[in-house]
Structure 1
């Protein structure tokens, strides 16, 4: 091949790709999708259509491939509308879509994300032209594609390389994206009332270590109060320590509570208020230095022979939970 012929051939290839790009448009929020080309064939489906010109003559407006399988065993089919899917979006175009098959066999509320590509082989370029998009598939919308996949005149003109001997080759590739991310829902609650409870911790004069109250239910969660009569940590020996503890909370759930704890002594009540996000890993929160031991020791109450009376008030402000 001489130099002039080679230059002429290269210019034709460049012109064809430019023409291809300008004639392929997409639908909806994918109007900015641009044409790509590649050498290797689609991984999941090759769909050859022979006697393409007879489709219009025979009034065939829709053709479907056989069922094919992508990763994770999902079933699909390729749907081609040779005269466009509708006159509004697909006029003068060939439309191409991918649809999830056997949806009745999927679990209720199924949903997944997938990267889908639809191909058309260009014999002249010896490449596969394709458009690619990302889509969330679910029962309400199990189908997605391009209403303006290619201008029909561009496809049917043999000089463009898509239609050879009145036959063309479409293709499809689907990769389901495994969702390993965290999905959560944060709910804020309108606080109209608070839960109030009086708890008794008996035989408090004999306590050397922590003592838990009985469990109680508040706002669909279980709670208990933990008291350290002689303190904990740096406050040991100088202060009474008190903590509110949530019981049996799921590892994928958090509860934001506004709460107060009061301790009765000498006909008085010492009360502290706090606000905290409770979780399985952070289930206890309160006051290491709730009240000095010296304040309550002479009363004969908390460290005396009488029971220790604790007042608890809880309001739930928000709940963070995982969702399917």
Structure 2
């Protein structure tokens, strides 16, 4: 497996990989219709990883709630009946991928994220620019292939006892 890493000191690892992720793949079809009709977002179905349910949320025109323009936004959401309770937080390494359909490589962003009942959606408002996305990531059949890996490495109780 070939890997090329770019780390720019902001806690986000940017990588180009030639191997696919192991947890989840979604193929978003008719990207041009989503962007043409100004669809706000596309949500995948639920998938399970490390004992939790997750889904990918893709904003083909950028996350308008965050005033994002000229970029696509891609997030991982903890979902379903087993989302964290109010009193707990789940720490996970999140790796989100999109396939460059011109050369078969994956563009990957990776970071540690905390998920909780009040913060169940984590990812990147500016995953990649619209120009790069249109040139490389929807090159074949008007589709985008987005993928995710999730490595849960900690659960904490957010309500610490008061020590006197």
Give the TM-score category using the shorter length.
0.7 to 0.9
Distance 2:61 2:16 in 1: 24
Give the CA deviation at 1:124. Answer: 2.5
Gaps of 5+ in 1: 1-16, 188-318, 320-324
- The within-5 A match list for 1:1-324 is 33-71=12-50, 73-86=51-64, 89-102=67-80, 106-157=84-135, 160=136, 162-179=138-155, 187=163, 319=164
Mark the structure with the bigger radius of gyration: 1
- Give the alignment's Cα RMSD to 1 decimal: 2.8
Gaps of 5+ in 2: none
Give the CA deviation at 1:125. Answer: 2.6
Structure 1 pair 103–109 and aligned structure 2 pair: CA distance change class (3 A): farther
Give the CA deviation at 1:60. Answer: 1.3
Give the CA deviation at 1:110. Answer: 2.4
Contact 1:84 1:93 in 2 (8 A): yes
Figure out how many residues of one structure are paired with residues of the other and give that number: 157
Partner of 1:69: helix, strand, or coil?
strand
TM-score (norm 2): 0.82
Report 1 or 2 for greater relative contact order, CA contacts < 8 Å, sequence distance ≥ 6.
Answer: 2
Contact 1:118 1:132 in 2 (8 A): yes
Write 1 or 2 for the structure with the bigger share of helix: 1
Structure 1 pair 105–65 and aligned structure 2 pair: CA distance change class (3 A): closer
Partner of 1:97: helix, strand, or coil?
strand
Match of 1:222 in 2: none
Write 1 or 2 for the structure with the bigger share of strand: 2
Contact 1:64 1:77 in 2 (8 A): yes
Distance 2:74 2:31 in 1: 15
TM-score (norm 1): 0.43
